[in-house]
Amino acid sequence: MSDHSHLTRRAFLAGAGASLAVATLPAVCSSAFADDTHTKEFRIGYQKAANTLVLLKSHGTLEKRLAPQGITVKWTEFPAGPQLLEGLNVGAIDFGYVGEAPPVFAQAAGANFVYTAYEIPTPHAEGILVHQDAPIKTLADLKGKKIALNKGSDVHWFLVAALQKNGVEYSEIQPVYLAPADARAAFERGAIDAWAIWDPFLEAAKRQTNARLLADADGIVSHHQFFLSARPFAQQNSAVLAIMMDEVAKEGAWVRGHYAEAAAQLAPIQGLDASVIEAGLRHYAHIYKPIDASVLAEQQRIADTFSELRLIPTKIVTKDAALPGKA
């Protein structure tokens, strides 16, 4: 693994604005905590499908790292990114992991968060499913069709971009906004023509239902995943976030070397067959980087498109949702 391919301690601490020596992490943390007005409780929002965070929670390594500083960790599960960001917006959590569209919707709604880090592109981890015997053969064939998606989630952007690339306006389809479980039920009973969904739900539906993958996001959108922090928390707890991302990076590296073992651990938690989870795990990169101007520019494209389509009520500047020096 190359030095630039993952989120190293040095890279994240520099990105977090901590001017620290990084010869040994304990010394770094000690110095950083001396400068921080740090919290006593770190509240993390996660989704059951967010594999790295689910494993981190299960393994308990973050708790062990933060305990010497008198910090406890509280985990709260959310069904999807939009709901998680609602929790961040109302102050119920300090930190979370979501796809690329939820931050755009949240920023447009006035949420006070900052982009902290991101996962490198994972375009094979989301797709559009149709029924095996459906006459829909291309993305252009989705014109006029009922398509289920979780409103405000990463597949919302994927669907918009996929349609645009194939000459179909968003106004020319019938979006049906459903959470993953409800969308699967609607798909199975034939109430919808197509379903835009992410892993592991995508892989499960491909294997367990009469589904055919029409297209994944490859060549259409990057499909980034983001770690977001409440702005006041990020401003006061750079050392906590540095430890968090260090542990996330370690967990990601472990997954990349232990797909089958990770899937076996996730299976009872996610309620899916380990082989389904392993296939989904391989669609994600599990490689994380500090937030930077280039990925914020990609987010701006999403924001501009959503504004033009009136999916969000106002224009936003995505770099405003970054700490100074990160945009």
Phi/psi of residue 2, nearest 5 degrees:
-75, 160
Which two three-digit tokens encode residue 284? Answer: 């994600």
Q: Is the pLDDT of residue 31 over 60?
A: no
C-alpha 316 chain-centroid distance: 20
Q: What is the pLDDT of residue 129?
A: 98
Q: What is the pLDDT of residue 249?
A: 96
Q: What is the pLDDT of residue 186?
A: 97
Q: What is the pLDDT of residue 114?
A: 97
Q: If pLDDT is split at 50, 70 and 90, which confidence band does 101 have?
A: very high
Q: What is the mean pLDDT of residues 81-103?
A: 92
Q: Is the pLDDT of residue 243 over 60?
A: yes
Which one-letter amino acid corresponds to residue 96?
G
**What domains appear along the chain, each with residue ranges and CATH number?**
9-122+224-321 (3.40.190.10), 124-216 (3.40.190.10)
- pTM of the predicted protein model: 0.84
Q: What is the pLDDT of residue 39?
A: 81
Asked if 200 and 277 count as a contact pair (C-beta separation under 8 A), the reply is yes
Which two three-digit tokens encode residue 123? Answer: 């375009």
Q: What is the pLDDT of residue 15?
A: 42
Q: What is the pLDDT of residue 34?
A: 55
Q: Is the pLDDT of residue 301 over 50?
A: yes
Q: What is the pLDDT of residue 20?
A: 27
* Number of continuous H segments (helices) and E segments (strands) in the chain: 14, 11
Q: Which of 238, 285, 241 is nearest to 259 (CA)?
A: 285
Q: What is the mean pLDDT of residues 211-237?
A: 96
Distance between CA atoms of residues 209 and 223, nearest Å: 24
Mean per-residue pLDDT over the chain, rounded: 88
Higher pLDDT, residue 1 or 266: 266
Q: If pLDDT is split at 50, 70 and 90, which confidence band does 33 have?
A: low
Q: Which of 196, 249, 270 is nearest to 46 (CA)?
A: 270
Give the H or E element holding residue 63: helix 61-66
Q: Is the pLDDT of residue 24 over 60?
A: no
Under 8 Å CB-to-CB from 241, ≥6 apart: which residues? Answer: 12, 16, 95, 116, 229, 234
Q: If pLDDT is split at 50, 70 and 90, which confidence band does 82 have?
A: confident
Distance between CA atoms of residues 68 and 25, nearest Å: 13
| Per-residue pLDDT tens over the stretch 211-221 | 999 999 999 99
